[in-house]
Amino acid sequence: MFLAFRCLMLVVFACRLILCPPDDHCHRQTFNEISNRSYTGDVLIREGPWPVTKCRRLCRRYLECWFFTIVWANDKYGTCNIYHGVWNSTQIVQKQDVSLYVPCPDGFQWNIKVKRCYTAEIYGPIQGYDAVNSCANILPGSFPVEPRNNAQMNHIKEVGGNFSIWLGMRKPDNFSDVHEFRYYSDGMPLEFEYWFQHNPNNFNNNEYCVVTTPENDHRWNDVKCILRRNLLCQL
């Protein structure tokens, strides 16, 4: 078993809370003895295959991780165990009920504020007609971003920068109400709106897709789906 200890400080450190989305590959168990030292705490198990370098990066990124172990499945990969607690140089002095988030798939980044995985980069430009399939091609199950509250919209603003982004919403062809937009992923009516003034207006009766307008604080505008804009996907 590979064992790597982080800095052993004589002062006592406090843990921060970090959320772990429900996932079959992330669970916690109690340990009583590690490396011939008896103490109590938690181990967060991230089932493999994990290369040791990636497990080490996970440990280094969070103050909660004081050391990690690899339970080897073969000569390169294994299960990544992340150990945490509040401790001094010789023993854990306090136990915290905390958990570590499950990393998003390759190419996606976890946003802890909104508890979502988003693509790590912006794609495009592409036509609005191709937005859904393009996200599915990046990773099956992903779809164009669907801001459903201010926090999620703020993330799109931060990431979008000067890009106009396709949003995961569309007005069904058989709906006459210009405000009747639906989410791509579940077909439900919008539960949050951030329209630019006088929008949606369905100009020329053929604006069925929605984009952000970076020049207007990324407020929304209904546009023709044939236009080419940029793409950000989520899980």
pLDDT per position as a tens digit, 138-188: 988 899 999 999 999 999 999 888 999 999 998 876 656 657 888 988 888
Give the range among 104-108, 122-126, 199-203 with minimum mean pLDDT: 104-108
Please name each of the domains of the chain with its CATH number: 2-94 (no CATH), 108-234 (3.10.100.10)
Q: Is residue 77 very low, low, confident or very high in pLDDT (cuts 50, 70, 90)?
A: low
Q: Strands 123-127 and 26-34: what pairing?
A: unpaired
Q: What is the phi/psi pair of residue 223, to 5°?
A: -140, 175
Supply the pLDDT for residue 104. Answer: 72
The residue among 84 and 47 whose pLDDT is bigger is: 84
Supply the pLDDT for residue 46. Answer: 47
* This model's pTM is above 0.75: no
Cα 35–40–46 angle (5° rounding)?
75
Which residue, 114, 105, 118, is CA-closest to 160?
118
Question: Which of the given ranges, 66-70, 109-113, 124-128, 176-180, has the highest pLDDT on average?
Answer: 124-128
The residue among 86 and 223 whose pLDDT is bigger is: 223
CA distance 196 to 32: 58
Q: Is residue 206 very low, low, confident or very high in pLDDT (cuts 50, 70, 90)?
A: confident
Strand ranges in 73-176 using DSSP code E only, listed in sequence order:
77-84, 86-87, 92-94, 108-111, 116-119, 123-127, 143-144, 166-170
pLDDT tens digits for range 139-149 = 888 999 999 99
Residue with tokens 């976890």: 110
Looking at every residue in the chain, the average pLDDT score rounds to: 69
Residue type at position 231: L
